[in-house]
Amino acid sequence: KKKKTTQPSKRRSVMRIIGSSTHFLTQKKWHYNKISSPLLIASSLLFHQLDCVVSSFPFASHHITRPLFVRGGGDNPNDSTLKMSNQEEEFPQGLNGMDLVKDGWFHERGELWKGQAMSLEVKNILAHYRSDYQDILVFESTNHGNVLVLDGVIQVTERDEFSYQEMIAHIPLYAHPNPKKVLVIGGGDGGVLREIAKHESVEEIVICEIDKGVIDVSKKYLPTLAKGYDDPRVTVHVMDGAKFMEENQDSFDVIITDSSDPIGPASVLFETPFYNAMHASLREGGIVCTQGECLWLHVDIIRPLVNSISTKYTQVEYAYTTIPTYPSGQIGFIVASKGEREAGCKVPVRKPSKELQKTMKYYSTELHAAAFVLPAFAKRAIFGDDV
């Protein structure tokens, strides 16, 4: 919900860290006695005020290079010290999750869904810090369980996460006759791993997540998702997914990219070269399934991508799922295959046993096929008027 240089975890924009100084001064969880100089406090407030003023001008640049204040060692959510980072911000200005918490509610606002917002009532802030790549916020909500937010964008809520995790995993896996080796790009919360592990035919599950901070907070605060890491078939690589694929050609039966939105560094995940890299890393007959944005908001992103990769992949299809806490309550999947498939990926070639189906809250064989049936406006917008 993207950022990490080539794979973020789900939907994310890029963050603004200076605003965290306000949170630092107002929240009791910060250790004030660890700040050695009052000058640091004053300067952080000054930078925050200047940032608010500058960003309000219509000509203000969204690409700002400036020093960053980071909490602790970057990847350690338990280190609450505040220090100046040697790193400079090189990505577009994004959001600090705590800036979106007002009067006990979290309000998600983003560049890709202007004019609308998703609000959740906050019961308790569980974690807030900056990793080496992004602002990470976890809070307990009143009605949706624990919520993971990256750079101000909701990635996961415990109440509805299953609809996304089950569909992005089981659509490609049940469309493949015998998947044995599966690669996950992003997906640091572990939910996709949990679903892949339900397939007995899979012998090896590899995940490339560039931000270890996402893995750590998910294991602590989202155990029902992070249980996916407990499967002995899982191998974790904290690294750039594109580099990993370059080193592993013709290796995987299924590749699942659980990415965030095409803002900043994550934009490369929605471009043809990244899909070419996945194609090269697939075995013949393999399938890729990637986060494909929202039918109601992003057909201008979806259609050019579908058109461009259709020259490389044998078949390119689009499916979707419903999920209340994602923008407009819906998110799609681009499903593409390497090699001929008589019915594409729309019809599952395997199905879960009765016992396994009882463990699933959303996916079913019937819903698999139905997910590819698009509203008329979306079908025309993505595949053209002649389809």
Residues recognised as catalytic: 258
Give the containing element (helix H, strand E) for 366. helix 365-370
Burial class (CB in 10 A: 0-12, 13-18, 19+), 241: buried
Q: What is the dihedral of CA 104, 110, 116, 120, to 10 degrees?
A: -30
Burial class (CB in 10 A: 0-12, 13-18, 19+), 14: buried
Alpha-carbon span 206 to 233, nearest angstrom: 8
Alpha-carbon span 350 to 96, nearest angstrom: 43
Give the containing element (helix H, strand E) for 381. helix 376-383
Tokens representing 59 are 């000509």
Give the containing element (helix H, strand E) for 191. helix 191-196
Beta carbons of 10 and 155 less than 8 angstroms apart? yes
DSSP state, residue 113: G
Beta carbons of 109 and 102 less than 8 angstroms apart? no
* Amino acid sitting at position 116: Q
Give CA 315 to chain center in angstroms.
25
From residue 249, alpha-carbon distances to 1, 97, 253, 271, 369 in Å are 27, 38, 11, 19, 30
